[in-house]
Amino acid sequence: GQSLEQPSEVTAVEGAIVQINCTYQTSGFYGLSWYQQHDGGAPTFLSYNALDGLEETGRFSSFLSRSDSYGYLLLQELQMKDSASYFCAVPRDSGYSTLTFGKGTMLLVSP
Amino acid sequence: KAGVTQTPRYLIKTRGQQVTLSCSPISGHRSVSWYQQTPGQGLQFLFEYFSETQRNKGNFPGRFSGRQFSNSRSEMNVSTLELGDSALYLCASSLAGDRVFTFGSGTRLTVV
């Protein structure tokens, strides 16, 4: 089976940097993805890591360590609009046909 | 290009009734998967269709079923509704083998 653990809630202030951690247990590993969801809306794709290291996309970066079964999402220069839930997810198979999600981390950004 | 469209956006049903939800994927996307989202359980996988065939199924009772049509549009059906079926039902489409899933805004089902 597959399971992913992430903190339930993180708080930060505007302009700060925040890191959301994710640890996973899988029988086979095909990469780690991150999705953002605002208040019950559509989850949207943020990033994907197949190999160890850091992937940067604007203010957002994602890191993966396969040996530690660990990844994190780094959000810089936080803005109020970044308040949302963030999910880490892994594909169930090499065909990327489905995803298994963590339970999500709610990020609250305050002024 | 148009995104993933789910209809209806909101539904209120009574226990024991059945419901059908619809999902139109992005044009060209042949893989459609369904997820149930609740506050307690998060996003849980229901099933996935590709070219009208169910390829994967999650751990849900047989009351949950689905199908996919030749134009890749998909429907899911829940029969004999229970209070615990109240949830946001999300549909996602993707190109075969693509790591990016595009989600619809979901159908919010409330069972009373």
Contact B99, A96 (CB under 8 A): yes
Q: Which residues of B touch A41 (CB under 8 A)?
A: 105-106
Q: Which residue of B has its CA nearest to A33?
A: B99
Interchain CB contact of B104 with A (< 8 Å): yes
A35 contacts in B (CB within 8 Å)? 101, 103
- C-alpha torsion B57→B62→B63→B65, nearest 10: 40
SS3 B80: coil
- Mean pLDDT, chain B, whole residue set: 95
Tell me if B101 and A99 make a contact (CB, 8 A cut-off). yes
CB contact under 8 A, A98 and B102: no
Chain A neighbors of B60, CB-CB under 8 A: none
CA distances from B12 to A42, A101, B9, B16, B91 (A): 20, 27, 11, 12, 19
DSSP three-state, residue B102:
strand
pLDDT value for B97: 82
Nearest chain A residue to B101, by CA: A45
The answer to whether the Cβ–Cβ distance between B42 and A98 falls below 8 Å is no
Label each residue of chain A as H, E or C: CCEEECCCEEEEECCCCEEEEEEEECCCCCCEEEEEECCCCCCEEEEEECCCEEEEECCEEEEEEHHHCEEEEEECCCCHHHCEEEEEEEECCCCCCCEEECCCEEEEEEC
| pLDDT tens for each residue of A94-106 | 888 899 999 999 9
Kindly tell me if the per-residue pLDDT of A70 is higher than 90.
Answer: yes
Q: Strand A84-91 and strand A53-57: pairing? A: unpaired
The C-alpha of B70 sits at a distance from chain A's nearest C-alpha, in angstroms, of 18
With a cut of 70, say whether residue A48 has pLDDT above it: yes
In chain B, which residue's Cα lies nearest the Cα of A32? B99
pLDDT digits (tens, 9 = 90+) for B61-73: 999 999 999 999 9
Tens-place pLDDT, residues B18-59: 999 999 999 999 999 999 999 988 999 999 999 999 999 999
Q: How confident is the model at residue B1 (pLDDT cuts 50, 70, 90)?
A: low
